[in-house]
Amino acid sequence: MARSIMTTESAGGTEAATGRIDLQEVDKVFTPRRGSVAIEALRSISLDVRPGEFVSLVGPSGCGKSTLLKMIAGLLEPSSGRIAVDGVPVEQPRRSVGMMFQTPELFPWRTVLKNVLLPIEIFRHEREFHRKRALELLEMVGLEGFQSALPRELSGGMQQRVALCRVLVSDPSVVLMDEPFGALDEFARERLNVELLRIWEDARKTIVFVTHNINEAVFLSDRVVVMGTSPGRVLEVVDVPLGRGRPRTQQMMREPAFTDCVFEVRGMLGL
């Protein structure tokens, strides 16, 4: 499916004002040791993500999707090219960009609530207001009453929900998610995907979502960035034709437009 010029405006919800990501001709070359062979992780990545857009990066292992995410987060420097968030070049991590990993990375010595409030503590933001917000977020993901529980008392899915609350509590304009539900079983994963969509439709943050799972990518995203390996590069950017009439529902997975899109992406990946 070619990129349609008619889809620049998303139909539902208010358009977020911040959270634009621009990547121009970004390359990343790793040189593990002096004198060893350089590994070209990413070649010439250009991508614009609109404020409030949900974009997925799919591709086989080693296509550099996590590397790309870390560069947008300011955790890695590109070897060449330009990355900017809201027009400001990314040189280091910033507060308006939140990140979530495949593992929840909750600190076992903190209760659920204190884990959610970690960014607030680090930013030295006002506590009382954010405490209320954290409790609301926990309620939104179905964890009301768990604020004093310890991480080890929760299942993997519930831990990842806590991590989701933690990344949202400081209200960042961009959320980067590195296979956030990849370690969960199919059921937990589907439930979390639906919850994530609901939250995103409410809050309209820019989300960049890395996954191996093509169904998941198509179901969640406005656009799917299909990536290939050696070197990591963008093969194609696919507009998902579903739900310009958002909200998206699981019933849409049965629509021909959904399956067509999934098979189109699969084709690009040679599956």
Partner 1 sequence: MNREVRDQVAAVEGPGEREVGQERRAAASPWWARALRYVVRDRPELVLAPLALVLLVYLWDVVTRTGLVAPVLLPSPQAVARALRVLLTAPWFPGNLWTTVLETISGFLIAALLAVAVAVLMDQIRLIRRVGYPYVVVLQVMPSVVLAPIFIVWFGFGISSKIVVAVSTAFFVILVNTLSGLASVPENSRLLMRSMCASRRQMFFKLTLPTALPYVFAAFKTAATLSLIGALVGEFITARSGLGRLLTQFSFALRQDMMFATVLVVGALGIALYGLVAFLEKKVIWWR
Q: What's the rounded Cα separation, in Å, for the pair 200 and 167?
A: 13
61 near partner 1, judged by CB under 8 A = no
209 near partner 1, judged by CB under 8 A = no
Q: How far is the CB of 218 from partner 1 (least distance, A)?
A: 27
Does the N-terminal peptide bond of residue 231 adopt cis geometry, omega within 30 degrees of 0? yes
Residue 16 gets the label, from left (phi > 0), alpha (psi -120 to 50) or beta, of beta
Helix orientation angle between 156-168 and 127-140, rounded to the nearest 10 degrees: 140
207 near partner 1, judged by CB under 8 A = no
Q: What's the rounded Cα separation, in Å, for the pair 223 and 238?
A: 6
Q: State which of residues 12, 89, 142, 267 lies at the interface with partner 1 (CB under 8 A).
A: 142
109 near partner 1, judged by CB under 8 A = yes
Closest to partner 1 by CB, 18 or 44:
18
Q: State which of residues 45, 83, 90, 99 lies at the interface with partner 1 (CB under 8 A).
A: 99
Interface stretch with partner 1, choices 33-41, 98-106, 199-207, 219-227 (CB under 8 A): 98-106
The site string for partner 1 over 219-238 (x = CB under 8 A, - otherwise) reads --------------------
Q: How far is the CB of 250 from partner 1 (least distance, A)?
A: 17
Q: Which of residues 146-205 bind partner 1 (CB under 8 A)?
A: 146, 149-150, 152-155, 157-158
Q: State which of residues 41, 47, 55, 97 lies at the interface with partner 1 (CB under 8 A).
A: 97
Number of neighbouring beta carbons within 10 Å of residue 60: 15
Question: Which residues are registered as beta bridge partners of 210?
Answer: 57, 178
Structure tokens at 177: 């998610």
Q: Are 222 and 54 in contact (CB under 8 A)?
A: yes
Closest to partner 1 by CB, 9 or 186:
186
Q: State which of residues 3, 82, 95, 132 lies at the interface with partner 1 (CB under 8 A).
A: 95
By the criterion CB under 8 A, which residues form the site for partner 1? 70, 73-75, 92-95, 97-99, 101-103, 105, 107-109, 118-119, 121-123, 142-143, 145-146, 149-150, 152-155, 157-158
